[in-house]
Amino acid sequence: MSKLNKDLVFLILQFLNEEGFTESAHMLERESRFYFDMKFFEDMILDGKWEDVEQYLSSFTKVDDNRYSTKIYFEIRKQNFFEALDGHDIAKALNILKKDLKDFAPGNEELFKELAQLLTLDDIRDHELLSKYYGDALSARKNMMLELKQIIEANPILQGKLKFPSIKRQRLRRLINQSLNWQHVHCANPQPNPDINTLFVDHVCQLQETDFSGQSSESNALPPQTTQSPSSWNFSSSMLTDSAVSFVALSLSDPTNKVAVTMDRPEDSDILSEKSPVRILNEQASTVTYPGVSLKNIPDYSPKSSLKKEMFQSFGETSVSDFPKTVAQTLIEGSSSPMSMDFHPVQHTLLLVGTNVGDTGLWDVNSGQKLFIRNFKVWDIGACSMLFKTALVRDPGVSVNRVVWSPDGSLLGVAYSKHIVQLYAYHGGSDARQQLEIDAHVGNVNDLAFSAPCKQISVITCGDDKTIKVWDAVTGSRTYSFEGHGAPVYSLCPHAKENIHFIFSISVDGKIKAWLYDSLGARVDYDAPGLGCTRMAYSANGRRLFSCGTSKEGESFLVEWNESEGAIKRTYQGLQLQHNSVSVVHFDTAKDQILAAGDDHVIKIWDMNKVQLLTTIDAGGGLPENPRICFNKNGTLLAVIANENRIKILETPESNSVDAAGVLSDNLRKLSVNPISTVTGAGIANGSVSVNEDPKDVKPEISVEAENKSEVEKPLFARPSECQSLLLPSKVKANKISRLTYNNGGQAIFALASNGVHLMWRWPRNDLTLSTEATTKVPPRLYQPRHGPQFMVNDTTDSNSQEAVPCFALSKNDAYLFSASGGVISLYIVMTFKTILTIMPPSPTATSLAFNPHDNNVIAIGMDDSTILIYNARSSEVISKLEGHSKRVTGLVFSDALNILVSSGGDAQIFVWDVDGWGIQTCRSLQTPDGVMTLAPSETHIQFHKDQTRFLLVHETHLAIYEAEELTCLKQWFPISSVPISQATFSCDCRMVFTSFVDGTLSIHEASNLEVQCRILSTAYLRPTTSCLHVYPHAIAAHPLKPTQFAVGLTNGEVYVIEPNEPGDTWAVLPPDEIVGDQPTSTSEGDRAMDG
């Protein structure tokens, strides 16, 4: 087959997949044997469709083609055999053995006999090898697929068939449209409105009389599903109410304008076609593009015009300095994540922000002050529907989906993740008053917008119930309800042209509909590029329409719609394929010149008139994969949501502190805003670090906090009513809790007591919470398997319980637990509590454990004799022995990003080891405030920040934050009181540090500077009978998904889970009704923070 024929097959495959004919596509793959779809093959493997797997594979290679093919078939049939045995289907297993696996018996007789012997076992895991490597069917399939990928890639028969060619989307449609345009250009009598009804014969225009009397008819030239222009969507006058006029603003024929033909850039247009002459808003003539044809050969329908000349006359060249790119301010939202932003339309430095816990706040970005914050609260629960009440009881957590100002800035609207919309009347400053609460939709309210169709302000909402609704913003009455989408409605774009008001709505499946303010239904029904979540927006002057969205496959599209031709005018280049298909690219426009989108951890900038990417802005780093962005209305400021709940404010380079647009003053550009002080009106906290300053360059400096702080009162939680705590139930007598951790999903807690007994609690699903995550609202159950051992108990033979250092490590898939309590190290299966492996003699004993993130079979073991062993559990051998510490090793942690192992010990030293060669990369001793080395033996623990480049060090005398590669100390904190620290840990978002002391006090620190944000006395979380005893937390663990929840394990064997009273609360402030009154004093009051 020729190369072009092969290319045609690939184009057909692309077309079939884009149109949803996937079965036909896979049949063509098998028949042509040009492309082996690894993803499709893997999906069948993971689904256990063994017959389909072999059928697809057999089209490309046979079992005896080569040793690679033989190995592939053997692994597939062996897995099918194991699963039949695991399901106790002996007849099926015997049939597989006799028919499928017998092909591999010659030369492998012993292996075949061993497979046959498995038929005699009640449980295949009783086999020595399978007990280690076969957990469940799905995990076994995943492991097998990893091996098969390597074999398939090495198989010569499949080489060159595993990668689909890089082809621009809808290439086959493009070629057909180009062919039709070429045929149309060469017609003997080309007409401005060609009638193309078939592809079976060449197109020839029929000579017809010119008609200037009415609306242009729609072209039939194979329009792609994703490239229809909203402005070509005609609304006939018969469909309008008596008071409305024909929809002349969107598309009407113009007898005075003929089509102006020019050569545009071919890459700027996805589909090339000719349309009838129409009027557009700026009165410029529309253009028709003819690929590959010079201007001299095009029939002269009208005076020629230059598109580029028109572009420069209208907009001018865009300069790199014309848009905000300099970080001037950083706002910190505390423990809540910003979800939506909108600048005030008149006061350009006021930024409205909604968060994932339902809070709505207003920032003055010029001063860095938060003017107000409104926590989520239902104003009138009696007026709400029973569905909403039920949803709120089952899951009280509510997030803000959208915040937006009305056009004049007098109203602000908030759309929530459950049913309701709230409107506030804004009177300037911090004065925002409750206006309306509307129970708008069932489920999420995904978007809202303001409009004034009859000179009466209205609010428009859309939601998961597939509807769009229009509400009177004064009375709250519903004026219109639009139905017709087949999926939840994702976004809205209301607009008006020549006094005709309309609404675009886009559902999550990419369907675009347009509505007039009447009851006659949707006027159009088209597809957005990529058929995914998409938003549309007009330029500031209302003349140009853009959309941006991301498909389910992670492909993103930023396009401009052609207002006259009924096709996409430009597809902007530079957006990356999203690795996380759940994430959606967000965009905004500015100054009628600039397009910006958050993508690939940066802000990408385009000139509206050019498809090529103009530049990117990293905003100093720390941006998520698809950061949300928002320009202010005059384009001088750009807000972007960064990691760690921050909002960065960018300004234009030429801005200055006295500019009327409200740009930032120079003396605040380097400061980060303290969330506590902005709420309380206390100003910027001491010790703030410049956002442009490298932490490594900060010299050691000790700052002493005043005993009495008038500016910022540190909240002190002393009574049980001030926070939620839950004592985990246990009928087992446990000694001091030595180690504590959540599982990776946050549904269970593991505790290791000093007597070697493990306790495991799991939270059930119930009516109060739809998830199984740990919560103080619902007590968990002490988990014990139905069969086998009831507890995991470590060997404590010949060990001194007072000197032993219990330790454990949970694998990243939560399936295995390595643990030791002064004796041998045991490897447990978590679900069955069975011990499947014991390693190491009892002396020297293990004192710390850590799994290698790259390989669950490799574990680092810190020993009592100061050495570190790198052990491979699969091969039962020591890979390397690391020596450097002088006392026992008490802390071990891997950095996946830096490929290093960090260790700490009782010798007050930190070592960094290179994982590749296991050599020492660097080491450093801990320092006291006086510069004296801390030599007293003490457990030192370490934990990596989520960025994997910094870590928290916990010593009984202080806390510290280190940069990992060079061991640069960035920050230290020392309690003035002599009460030792017992343990500390990062919160899951690494915004806070939870710390426990041996007097029972807990303190919560801001992770960036280790300043204490609040303290919790033991009387607030312990039972009265316990708090009066000398009992304190010896172990502490943070919930992996909830930033404000943590658990503590006490010296008396009890475990408590602690979190704020309400899901949306933070630890920074007391509940309103608890702020007044005398509070007890803390034993740890007055601390020293040292910049290192």
Which has the higher per-residue pLDDT, 557 or 938?
A: 557
Class of residue 299 by CB neighbours under 10 A (exposed 0-12, middle 13-18, buried 19+): exposed
Worst-scoring range by mean pLDDT, 143-147, 720-724, 846-850? Answer: 720-724
> What single-letter DSSP state applies at residue 126?
G
**For 578-584, what is the mean pLDDT?**
70
| pLDDT of 1074 | 42
Which has the higher per-residue pLDDT, 412 or 803?
A: 412
Worst-scoring range by mean pLDDT, 368-377, 560-569, 1069-1078? Answer: 1069-1078
Tokens representing 77 are 């049939």
Summary count for the chain: helices (H), strands (E): 15, 61
| pLDDT of 580 | 59
Closest CA to 673 of 326, 331, 1005, 1068: 331
φ, ψ of residue 747 to 5 degrees: the values are -100, -10
d(CA 870, CA 35): 42
**For 801-823, what is the mean pLDDT?**
86
**For 550-556, what is the mean pLDDT?**
91
| pLDDT of 208 | 52
d(CA 187, CA 1005): 77
DSSP letters, 988-1029, are TTSSEEEEEETTS-EEEEETTT--EEEEE-HHHHS-HHHHTS
Cis, bond preceding 844 (omega within 30 deg of 0): yes
d(CA 459, CA 438): 10
Asked if the model's pLDDT at residue 185 lies above 90, the reply is no
Does this model's pTM top 0.75? Answer: no
| pLDDT of 280 | 27
Beta partners for 1058? 725, 1046
Which has the higher per-residue pLDDT, 573 or 289?
A: 573
pLDDT tens, position by position, 1050-1082: 998 999 999 998 766 788 755 554 433 333 333
pLDDT band for 425, please (50, 70, 90 cuts): very high
Tokens representing 734 are 């446990």
For the chain, the farthest-separated pair of C-alpha atoms sits apart, in whole angstroms, at: 105
| pLDDT of 666 | 39
Contacts of 1005 (CB under 8 A, 6+ apart): 959, 973, 992, 993, 995, 1011, 1012, 1013
Tokens representing 534 are 């998409």
Which range has the top average pLDDT, 296-300, 707-711, 872-876, 1076-1080? 872-876
Asked if the model's pLDDT at residue 273 lies above 70, the reply is no
Side chain identity at 10, as an amino acid letter? F
| pLDDT of 749 | 95
d(CA 710, CA 229): 61
Task: Answer yes or no: are the C-beta atoms of 124 and 82 closer than 8 Å.
Answer: yes
**For 710-733, what is the mean pLDDT?**
77
Which has the higher per-residue pLDDT, 710 or 400?
A: 400
Distances, alpha carbon 257 to alpha carbons 205, 261, 286, 302, 524, in Å: 22, 12, 9, 9, 26
Which has the higher per-residue pLDDT, 1046 or 822?
A: 1046
Which has the higher per-residue pLDDT, 256 or 90?
A: 90
E strands, 394-527, where? 400-405, 411-416, 420-426, 432-439, 445-451, 458-463, 467-472, 478-483, 489-497, 500-507, 511-516, 524-527
Q: What is the CA radius of gyration of the chain?
A: 33
Which has the higher per-residue pLDDT, 837 or 298?
A: 837
d(CA 926, CA 969): 9
**For 362-370, what is the mean pLDDT?**
91
Distances, alpha carbon 56 to alpha carbons 67, 72, 84, 141, in Å: 19, 13, 22, 17
Asked if the model's pLDDT at residue 719 lies above 90, the reply is no
Contacts of 939 (CB under 8 A, 6+ apart): 805, 890, 891, 906, 956
Worst-scoring range by mean pLDDT, 244-258, 261-275, 579-593? Answer: 244-258
Beta partners for 993? 986, 1005
| pLDDT of 258 | 32
Closest CA to 666 of 656, 675, 681, 677: 656
Query: Both ends of the chain: CA-CA distance in Å?
Result: 69
Segment (H or E) for 1091: strand 1087-1091
Chain-centre distance for alpha carbon 756: 39
d(CA 272, CA 219): 12
pLDDT band for 299, please (50, 70, 90 cuts): very low
Tokens representing 199 are 């592809």
pLDDT band for 203, please (50, 70, 90 cuts): confident
Closest CA to 761 of 736, 786, 740: 740
d(CA 103, CA 119): 18
Which has the higher per-residue pLDDT, 457 or 246?
A: 457
Segment (H or E) for 533: strand 533-538
| Averaged pLDDT score across all residues of the chain | 79
Asked if the model's pLDDT at residue 134 lies above 50, the reply is yes
d(CA 624, CA 604): 13
| pLDDT of 841 | 66
Contacts of 766 (CB under 8 A, 6+ apart): 778
d(CA 516, CA 504): 9
Asked if the model's pLDDT at residue 767 lies above 90, the reply is no
Asked if the model's pLDDT at residue 1026 lies above 90, the reply is no
Percent of the chain with pLDDT strictly greater than 90 = 47
**For 448-453, what is the mean pLDDT?**
93
Closest CA to 164 of 31, 32, 2, 10: 10
Tokens representing 15 are 């077309």
Asked if the model's pLDDT at residue 444 lies above 80, the reply is yes
pLDDT tens, position by position, 639-653: 999 999 999 999 987
Q: What angle do CA 260, 264, 270 make, to 5 degrees?
A: 110
pLDDT band for 929, please (50, 70, 90 cuts): low
Chain-centre distance for alpha carbon 658: 38
DSSP letters, 1029-1047, are SS--EEEEEE-SS-TT-EE
| pLDDT of 294 | 33
Percent of the chain with pLDDT strictly greater than 70 = 77
**For 911-926, what is the mean pLDDT?**
91
Side chain identity at 9, as an amino acid letter? V
pLDDT tens, position by position, 517-543: 988 888 888 889 999 999 999 998 888
pLDDT band for 206, please (50, 70, 90 cuts): low
d(CA 501, CA 561): 19
Asked if the model's pLDDT at residue 1012 lies above 80, the reply is yes
Task: Answer yes or no: are the C-beta atoms of 194 and 307 closer than 8 Å.
Answer: no
Break the chain down into helix, strand, coil percent, rounded to 5: 20, 30, 50
| pLDDT of 224 | 39
The residue length of the chain stands at 1092
Asked if the model's pLDDT at residue 573 lies above 70, the reply is yes
Asked if the model's pLDDT at residue 482 lies above 90, the reply is yes
Asked if the model's pLDDT at residue 438 lies above 50, the reply is yes
Task: Answer yes or no: are the C-beta atoms of 232 and 218 closer than 8 Å.
Answer: yes
Worst-scoring range by mean pLDDT, 411-425, 695-709, 999-1013? Answer: 695-709
